[in-house]
């Protein structure tokens, strides 16, 4: 996306950008705060989350080189969700007004930003509205593991930065069922568990669980 900016736009960007180091489990954004910045994760991972009627939900996970919570930041005056780091994370804070100026004057930048927001929205629809509402619990967890592997960590081997409780919040199943199903997948040779490290051994079988509603 940055390669769509002109030289003068790049200068404007760098002069209105702040790098902030956040520690693990530190709040980047609090729900209800006024939107002042667009947040870009240069290194690390963060979760977008919220609470409803006393129950916590994880809406999405973002990793290296990605915008986080972009859709609501460009369309709302206040933040709709909380954003919290999953590990020590380096975040670029970009003045929201600078982004607005790029949208007005740079069609290619606007096109890339719309695609970014569209991809994020489609993930939300697929994971949070379709998979979690219509799939059985094995399928929900399978879908979450596949998404983390393909879209967050970009590997079949990754350290699961989410606790079992957070994994249950993201998959909309109980913590007890998360633990039970993880060990079932491990015993079936679909994944290999080693503490928080997961290796997906049989992606095809995991996808069958994810597709079976």
- Domain 2-119 class? mainly beta
CA–CA separation, 112 and 127 (whole Å): 23
Give the phi and the psi of residue 57 in degrees, each rounded to 5: -130, 140
Closest CA to 60 of 136, 116, 109: 116
At residue 118, the pLDDT reads 74
Asked if 203 contacts 156 with a C-beta cutoff of 8 angstroms, the reply is yes
Residue 125's pLDDT is what? 64
Q: What per-residue confidence (pLDDT) applies to 49?
A: 92
Alpha-carbon gap, residue 60 to 55, rounded angstroms: 16
pTM (predicted TM-score): 0.83
- For 83, the 3-state DSSP assignment is strand
Q: How is domain 135-211 classified at the CATH fold level?
A: Arc Repressor Mutant, subunit A (1.10.10)
In the prediction, which pLDDT does 172 show?
A: 85
Closest CA to 38 of 54, 62, 4: 62
Strands laid side by side in the 17-22 sheet? 17-22, 89-95, 37-43, 66-68
2-119 and 135-211, same CATH topology: no
Whether the Cβ atoms of residue 36 and residue 95 lie closer than 8 Å to each other: yes
Compute CA distances 76 → 59, 80, 201, whole Å.
17, 8, 42
Domain ranges of the chain: 2-119, 135-211
List per-block mean pLDDT (blocks of 10 residues) for the chain, which spans 213 residues: 81 91 96 91 94 83 85 75 95 91 85 77 62 75 91 92 92 92 95 93 92 62
- Cα–Cα distance, 22 to 44 (Å, whole number): 9
Q: How far is CA 102 from the centre of its chain?
A: 24
pLDDT of 66 reads 87
């Amino acid at each position: 996306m940055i390669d769509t900016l002109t030289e003068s736009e790049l200068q404007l960007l760098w002069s209105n950008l702040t790098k902030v180091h956040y520690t693990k489990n530190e709040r980047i954004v609090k729900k209800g705060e006024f939107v002042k910045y667009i947040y870009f994760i240069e290194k690390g991972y963060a979760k977008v989350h919220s609470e409803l009627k006393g129950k916590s939900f994880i809406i999405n996970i973002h990793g290296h080189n990605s915008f986080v919570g972009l859709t609501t930041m460009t369309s709302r005056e206040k933040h709709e969700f909380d954003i919290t780091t999953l590990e020590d994370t380096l975040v670029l804070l970009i003045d929201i007004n600078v982004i607005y100026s790029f949208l007005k004057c740079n069609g290619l930048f606007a096109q890339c930003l719309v695609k970014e927001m569209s991809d994020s929205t489609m993930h939300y629809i697929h994971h949070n509205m379709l998979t979690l509402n219509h799939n059985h619990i094995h399928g929900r967890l399978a879908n979450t593991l596949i998404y983390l592997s393909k879209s967050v960590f970009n590997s079949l081997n990754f350290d699961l930065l989410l606790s079992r409780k957070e994994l249950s919040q993201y998959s909309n199943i109980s913590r007890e069922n998360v633990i039970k199903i993880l060990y079932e997948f491990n015993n079936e040779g679909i994944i290999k568990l080693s503490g928080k490290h997961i290796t997906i051994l049989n992606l095809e079988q995991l996808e069958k669980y994810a597709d079976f509603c």
